[in-house]
Chains A and B, each alone.
Chain A
């Protein structure tokens, strides 16, 4: 079946450090891929998405590239800020027996220190 695997957290970085959060997926066909961010006490916000192989999603300095050959969608940011502290969820939309559903990874907590 379809699944998403994220790196275990928490990830703790100093401000202005480089961020990578790994995400790999298993799916049939060509799923759309997403990163969502959840700040403390809030709902999920769409951060970026990519709908086909080699697409790069980007937003607010974050980027992720849809790599079909490695079935990955790693999230990167060149210089993190304290305000980026949150939980990041990788997700895909894929079909299981003709029914399309969102499949979320377990989430990676990011803590950025000043």
Chain B
């Protein structure tokens, strides 16, 4: 059974940093693009970043470029999101998701999400 379990969320002050993790089980992690999608409280979905299975490609939404870094450790079956210079508008539930179609663009399995709150 495919499972994705996020961790690392919490309360952080504006300008602070946080590192999210996503532990993957039930599939060959190293064969899949992986993605982070976020959802602000009461709002819709926003794609944040994705990373190719061999780490040769990473893409970001403009609003997080230069502040967030997506990475992965295929030996540990884990996906990460390093978030620096956090802003109030980064407050959201962050989901990791697996790609279906081999291009990082359709998400067939999702974790349960981890809440990041940026507030003083």
A binds B: no
| Chain A interface residues toward B at CB < 8 A | none
| Chain B interface residues toward A at CB < 8 A | none
